[in-house]
Chains A and B, each alone.
Chain A
Amino acid sequence: MHVPDGFIDAPVSLATGAVAVAGVGIALRGARRELDDRTAPLAGLTAAFVFAAQMLNFPVASGTSGHLLGGTLAAILVGPYTGVLCVSVVLLMQALLFADGGLTALGVNITTMALVTVVTGYGLFRLLLRVLPMTRASVSGASFAAAVVSVPAAAVAFTLVYAAGGTADVSIGKVAAAMIGVHVLIGIGEALITAVTVSSVLAVRPDLVHGARGLMKPLELRTGGRNAAEPKPSRA
């Protein structure tokens, strides 16, 4: 979904760039709380994994392909602030080294593929976990659902940016329909990769999954349906 140079006019590119800078700035501050001696290397590896997975375009429909965006995945593994940074680093390296994603479009790409995917994907993930039982299956299911939604959300964000500053004279309604349609399909691929990866890490090292914090404690300490670790039962 990398936007090349020339699609978005200069003022809107600049405005979206400002949004991206603000978002990355907030992420840098928030990531401090998520990163320690153990999770910092994990976050570096997560960024590397997202880069690798983004090379794997999978076919979706009639001559179209899609690839992982990775925002939801990174946010669940290492936290939302760090997740934004993971995808942003990937996008920056792709634009600077691999000529993938325009330099003037870097703000657009960070906004749609890092900020929007993390905010929608991780937000939905947390909401789902609030209503689901705290089990491994819930975490996997919630990652799937969150990832599915995050991709069309990014497509909507691109369409909005295009509506504001698109350089070609095209029907925004048609762009929106086409973008959302194909990205729902790509979202399913995103969800499969996300759920498989999250489940795999959960299977071997659940303690390393940021989004599954709290999963360990009730599982190990629950006695008779109540959390034995709590000093006093808050409510019957």
Chain B
Amino acid sequence: MTTKRFFAVFLLVSLVLAGIVSYYASANPDGLEKVAEDKGISAKEKDHSLKDSPLGDYGVKGVDDARLSGGLSGVIGVGLVLLVGGGLFWTVRRRGPAAGPAAPEREAGAPAEPSRKG
């Protein structure tokens, strides 16, 4: 599989998970929420200061259909995380013509000796 195609598939899987499969996720409280409720920790919980934000609680404000609202928020989230994360990683990366000690070392090493033993 080419790198480009692999990246495309990876992105598609993320979009499908966030945009479609997420609708079928369990709505039960997660482990921490449940423990917090059971043990009386939740009594001190404060509302999120951005709870009314346009994407608050994994929905899109103004979109009433639950499936569409949740799916859309997931797709937007995947896009934004990719944008912010990808931007950060692209900025931080080693520059240069695919140089660097880690990757090319083994790539250069592998084809050098095409020893094919059963």
Q: Which residues of A contact B (CB under 8 A)?
A: 1-7, 28, 31-45, 47-49, 51-53, 55-60, 63-67, 82, 85-86, 89-90, 92-100, 102-103, 155, 158, 162, 166-168, 170-171, 174-175, 178-179, 182-183, 185-186, 204-205, 207-208, 213-214, 216-217, 220-221, 223-224, 228-229
Binding site for A on B (CB under 8 A): 1, 3, 6-7, 10-11, 13-15, 17-18, 21-22, 25-32, 34-36, 38-41, 43-51, 53, 55-58, 73-74, 77-82, 84-90, 92-94, 96, 98-100, 102-103, 106-107, 109-110, 112-113, 115, 117
Specify which of B36, B88, B94 is in contact with A33 (CB 8 Å cutoff). Answer: B94
| Contact B1–A178 (Cβ < 8 Å) | no
A48-B14, A51-B14, A51-B78 are known contacts. Are A37 and B93 too (CB-CB below 8 A)?
yes
- Residue of chain B at shortest CB distance from A185: B31
Q: Are A98 and B73 closer than 8 Å at their CB atoms?
A: yes
Between A and B, 13 residue pairs with Cβ closer than 8 Å are A32-B94, A44-B87, A45-B10, A45-B82, A47-B86, A52-B14, A55-B58, A57-B30, A58-B26, A64-B34, A65-B30, A178-B39, A213-B106
Q: Is the interface of A mostly helix, strand, loop or mixed?
A: helix
With A55-B22, A59-B28 as given contacts, are A93 and B17 in contact (CB-CB < 8 Å)? no
| List of A residues within 8 angstroms of B109 by Cβ | 217, 221, 229
CA distance A42 to B4 in the complex (A): 10
Closest CB-CB distance, B97 to chain A, in whole Å? 8
Nearest A residue (CB) for B76: A97
A35 to B98, CA, bound (A): 10
B77 CB contact (under 8 Å) in A31, A93, A102? A93
* CB-based contact A178/B106 at 8 Å: no
Residues on the A chain within 8 Å of B3, using CB: 38, 205, 208
Instruction: Determine the distance from Cα of A216 to Cα of B35 in the docked complex, in whole angstroms.
Output: 44
